[in-house]
């Protein structure tokens, strides 16, 4: 790069195994900082920062002289600045594009970064998922900084990009917003501050062929195309680049196929996203003999508010396995568990209760037959279930 804006600084990331902090750590290092970090356990995102000095387990111990950045999941564990404050600084250092929304923001952000890179615009990017075509969840160049924003804690409001985009609006974070109207007003206020704004829900899905399946991805591509237009990218070239995008890790990702069973992992964690993933699985060729959904609920308040809708979405599958709620973002609520979701899965979908990841993998293996498709779903670690199922299937 022509300059290193963080040269001479030292950062210690508490929760470096999270999707966001792993990306921030990579960008900070590439922009000249010395980086170290801590997490309570190994995660899928640590694969992108293996060469950084990282402590696993115990308690975080920031070295003397290091600025501490603390993820939301570990707030209060140690003094330091918030991840939201840190990403706001990063956005202030480069001409930036920030993309938010209820659904599809990770994929749309990745589409924009991929297209810019393919067209020679040399972007930097910070994305809440691993993008194989980009070599990870973060990268640096001399062009636009493309960032996935987060409305779950309102931190996207701290970001001041040149181009702001929102894919769609749907209430998903019930502990933060009292209504969908409040969420819509929040996003509109943020969009109004940007010199250029894109409202994805006003756009028609693209009609050209994509490398990723599903109607939801045609909508994501429409938002990405509008963002690229706002960035001054030639329209036809942008469309051709988007057509070559192959997807993000944990977004309808084929984990493996053994014994005639295909296993797909998806980040979908609310009713709309779960339904989109399962409908896309139904459209696969050859058509699955049976579709098995395996869901790990995330956030107690979401589970309390949406267990009926979550159960109905899982009912698209022929069989549904549900685990207990993964904690971390909010405190447990009396009477709230994954069983609430499972009890609302409609007949005739077969229902299975498997509180732990190991139990979910074992039950899925017991049910799966050649020709079936298994889709694991959720924010936490359902990818571990997917990998265990692939490893457990007969060769």
Q: How far apart are the first and last CA of the chain?
A: 47
**Helix, coil or strand: residue 166:** strand
Whether residue 131 contacts residue 248, with contact meaning beta carbons closer than 8 Å, is answered with yes
**Helix, coil or strand: residue 69:** strand
Stretch (H or E) spanning 273: helix 271-282
Whether residue 380 contacts residue 357, with contact meaning beta carbons closer than 8 Å, is answered with no
Q: What is the pLDDT of residue 276?
A: 94
Residue 72 in this model has a pLDDT that exceeds 70: yes
Question: Which residue is associated with the tokens 């900084």?
Answer: 145
* pLDDT tens sequence across 208-236: 999 999 999 999 999 999 999 999 999 99
Within its chain, how far is the Cα of 221 from the centroid? 16
Residue 17 in this model has a pLDDT that exceeds 90: yes
Rounded to whole angstroms, how far apart are CA atoms 36 and 344?
44
Helices 271-282 and 300-314, packing angle to 10 deg: 30
Percent of the chain residues past pLDDT 70, beyond the cut: 99
* pLDDT tens sequence across 77-124: 999 999 999 999 999 999 999 999 999 999 999 999 999 999 999 999
> Predicted confidence band at 47 (pLDDT cuts at 50, 70, 90)?
confident
Whether residue 295 contacts residue 378, with contact meaning beta carbons closer than 8 Å, is answered with yes
Write the CATH number of the domain with boundaries 253-392.
3.90.190.20
Q: What is the pLDDT of residue 279?
A: 97
Please tell us whether the domain made up of 10-82 is placed in CATH 3.40.50.1370.
no
Domain ranges across the chain: 10-82, 94-243, 253-392
Rounded to whole angstroms, how far apart are CA atoms 374 and 389?
9
Whether residue 107 contacts residue 215, with contact meaning beta carbons closer than 8 Å, is answered with no
Q: Show the 3-state SS of 167-207.
A: CCCCCCCCCCCCCHHHHHHHHHHHHHCCCEEEEHHHCCCCC
Q: What is the pLDDT of residue 174?
A: 86
Residue 369 in this model has a pLDDT that exceeds 70: yes
Do the two domains 94-243 and 253-392 of this chain adopt the same fold?
no
DSSP per residue, 343-354 = HTSPTTSEEEE-
Residue 360's alpha-carbon distances to 152, 339, 376, 384, in angstroms, are 28, 13, 10, 10
Rounded to whole angstroms, how far apart are CA atoms 355 and 309?
20
> Predicted confidence band at 329 (pLDDT cuts at 50, 70, 90)?
confident
Q: What is the pLDDT of residue 328?
A: 65
Of residues 322 and 46, which shows the higher confidence score? 322
Fold that domain 94-243 belongs to in CATH: 3.40.1190
Residue 289 in this model has a pLDDT that exceeds 90: yes
CA-based nearest residue to 246, from 212, 271, 287: 212
């Amino acid at each position: 790069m022509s300059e290193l804006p963080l040269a001479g600084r030292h950062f210690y990331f508490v929760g470096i195994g999270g999707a966001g902090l792993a990306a921030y750590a990579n960008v900070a290092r590439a922009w000249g900082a010395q980086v170290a970090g801590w997490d309570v356990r190994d995660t899928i995102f640590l694969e992108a920062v293996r060469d950084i000095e990282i402590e696993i387990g115990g308690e975080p111990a920031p070295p003397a002289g290091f600025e501490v950045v603390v993820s939301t999941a570990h707030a209060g564990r140690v003094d330091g600045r918030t991840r939201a404050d840190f990403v706001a600084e990063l956005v202030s250092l480069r001409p930036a594009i920030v993309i938010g929304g209820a659904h599809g923001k990770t994929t749309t952000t990745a589409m924009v970064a991929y297209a810019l890179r393919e067209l020679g615009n040399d972007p930097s990017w910070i994305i809440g998922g691993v993008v194989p075509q980009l070599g990870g969840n973060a990268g640096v160049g001399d062009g636009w900084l493309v960032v996935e924003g987060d409305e779950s804690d309102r931190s996207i409001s701290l970001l001041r990009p040149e181009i702001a985009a929102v894919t769609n609006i749907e209430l998903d974070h019930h502990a933060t917003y009292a209504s969908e109207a409040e969420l819509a007003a929040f996003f509109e206020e943020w969009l109004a501050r940007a010199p250029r704004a894109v409202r994805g829900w006003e756009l028609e899905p693209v009609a050209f062929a994509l490398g990723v399946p599903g109607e939801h991805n045609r909508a994501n591509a429409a938002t990405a195309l509008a963002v690229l237009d706002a960035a001054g990218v030639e329209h036809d070239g942008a469309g051709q680049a988007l057509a070559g995008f192959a997807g993000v890790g944990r977004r309808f990702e084929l984990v493996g196929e053994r014994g005639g069973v295909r296993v797909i992992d998806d980040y979908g964690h609310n009713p709309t996203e779960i339904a989109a993933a399962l409908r896309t699985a139904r459209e696969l060729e050859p058509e699955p003999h049976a579709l098995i959904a395996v869901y790990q609920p995330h956030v107690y308040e979401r589970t309390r508010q949406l267990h009926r809708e979550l159960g109905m979405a899982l009912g698209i599958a022929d069989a549904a396995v549900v685990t207990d709620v993964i904690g971390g973002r909010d405190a447990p609520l009396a009477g709230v568990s994954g069983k609430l979701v499972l009890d609302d899965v409609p007949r005739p979908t077969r229902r299975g209760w498997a509180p732990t990841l190991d139990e979910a993998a074992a039950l899925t293996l017991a049910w799966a037959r050649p020709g079936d498709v298994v889709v694991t779903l959720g924010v936490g670690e359902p990818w571990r279930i997917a990998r265990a199922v692939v490893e457990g299937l007969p060769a």
